[in-house]
Structure 1
Amino acid sequence: MYDGPSARLADKHNPDFVWVSSFCVSAALGGLPDLGLIDSSEMASVVRTVARTTRHPVVVDMESGYGGPRKVDLAARTISQAGASAVCIEDNTLDKWSILYPGERDLASVEEQEKCLRATRRGLEPSCFLIARTEALVAGHGVAEALNRA
């Protein structure tokens, strides 16, 4: 989802939830590539619109948290207060690199990601769920590393 009309269209198919995608929001807000170029206030604005439009839970792609452990609690608070039912945080570094583009990608250390997830949880409304996602397979680190990060 990336706006009210896309949420309304999804509603017609009665999904379990709607996904506010950083890829779609980046493209819709200015034709931007999905490289971490939108900020949490832009995402919260879209979430607010989608949440008002749909009758289904809104799950939000928060990328790597919009600033790491020091800023992610504020981003999580802003997005959950905008109407997110759940947020998804990935373990890319802040220098996000979409799976759609070739090239090397770095992942946050497990320790750094744990800090980021704890900070995210602190910022969320009590009713908002946290989904942690690893990009280990996409980054070429293999199944063992993906399981280590799970």
Structure 2
Amino acid sequence: MTGNAITRPLSEPNLANLLGAGNVLQAPGIYDGLSARLVEQAGFEAAFISGACISFSRFGRPDMGLVSASEVAETVAVIRERTALPLIVDMDTGFGNALNVQRTVRTFERAGASALQMEDQLMPKRCGHMSGKQVISTREMEGKIRAALDARKSDQTLIIARTDALGVNGLEDAMERAERYLQAGADALFVEAPQTLAQMQEIGRRFGDRIPLVHNLVEGGNSPVESAGDLAPLKYRIALYPASLLHLFLPAAQRLLRDLKAHGHVGEHRQRMVDLSAINDLLGAEELLNAGKIYQYE
């Protein structure tokens, strides 16, 4: 390591070690300090900062490449301040060419990313489960992977190479791209949106013993499998749940607001709600108050 290498906090588990433990690593999607706190409290060992969820929650927009690199970096920094969980960060296409990728890697790594997921879509990108995607050339993506590897300050920062070619050019092209991305030095592979169990089995057979494989368990994304338990026999190692929290929050919020508008009070929803003191307990109000006492003058 060089003198300016990034040193991980002692409390942050090593993501590579977690991937070597033999179990499928479950990473729920998060998008702010509260969601990070909930995931950590639930006992998960890693979290996924989803670009889609940043777009959904912060800007009220679909996942169509509208979020900037600086906005993602700011979100990563806010979340890193709140949790020591390993953070797998969605960096979309790297926000430009190979030089842009290098700047993005440096910026996200400084903000606290533990792994960076980069895809081979053409900008402006869109959700991997939407139609109309386009992909860049394999050679260009190989260069971007090498650029990302050269830019990272710590070899503990993993580079995940994602290909969206399956839905554009078919399985054969996606498999060829994944092979070349592995050879370019990627630390993990993500073949997005397989359409059948047979395709997932083929991906697992070819790559599962050679490199960690990632799969998206996104509600409504037509995944051939439904759980982390289904992934282990297929030789996948990382299960992402990019928008599960928001997918549950949205209908619950709509029901509450509909009834509040109609009746002027929360009614039966109150039984399922927490109160202000519970939120303060969850977020560590007492801990902050005690920490502040150190600096009070008598």
TM-score (norm 1): 0.92
Map of 1:142 onto structure 2: 170
Map of 1:122 onto structure 2: 150
Question: Distance between the aligned counterparts of 1:113 and 1:74, measured in 2?
Answer: 16
Alignment match of 1:110 (pick from 138, 143, 146) = 138
Cα RMSD of the aligned pairs, angstroms, is 1.3
Identity rate, percent: 35
Cα distance, 1:144 vs. partner? 1.1
2:98 is the counterpart of 1:69: yes
Q: SS state of the match for residue 8, structure 1?
A: helix
Question: Distance between the aligned counterparts of 1:33 and 1:69, measured in 2?
Answer: 26
Q: SS state of the match for residue 117, structure 1?
A: helix
Structure 2 counterparts to residues 28-67 of structure 1, below 5 A: 28-67=57-96
Q: SS state of the match for residue 19, structure 1?
A: strand
TM-score (norm 2): 0.48
Q: SS state of the match for residue 29, structure 1?
A: helix
Aligned length: 148
Q: Deviations over 1:2-54 (max 9, x none)?
A: 10000000002222310000000111221122111111111011001111212
Q: SS state of the match for residue 160, structure 2?
A: strand
Q: Quick check: 1:68–1:94 contact (8 Å CA) kept in 2?
A: no
Q: Which has the higher helix share?
A: 2
Q: SS state of the match for residue 52, structure 2?
A: helix
Q: Deviations over 1:116-150 (max 9, x none)?
A: 111122222213110101112233x2221111011
Structure 1: which 5+ residue stretches go unaligned?
Answer: none
Which one has more relative contact order, counting CA pairs under 8 Å at least 6 apart?
1
Structure 2: which 5+ residue stretches go unaligned?
Answer: 1-29, 179-298
Letter matched to residue 110 of structure 1: T
Map of 2:43 onto structure 1: 14
Letter matched to residue 105 of structure 1: K
Cα distance, 1:99 vs. partner? 3.3
Cα distance, 1:61 vs. partner? 0.4
Q: SS state of the match for residue 60, structure 1?
A: strand
Q: Quick check: 1:75–1:123 contact (8 Å CA) kept in 2?
A: no
Cα distance, 1:100 vs. partner? 4.5
Question: Distance between the aligned counterparts of 1:3 and 1:128, measured in 2?
Answer: 21
Q: SS state of the match for residue 133, structure 1?
A: strand
Alignment match of 1:82 (pick from 91, 106, 111) = 111
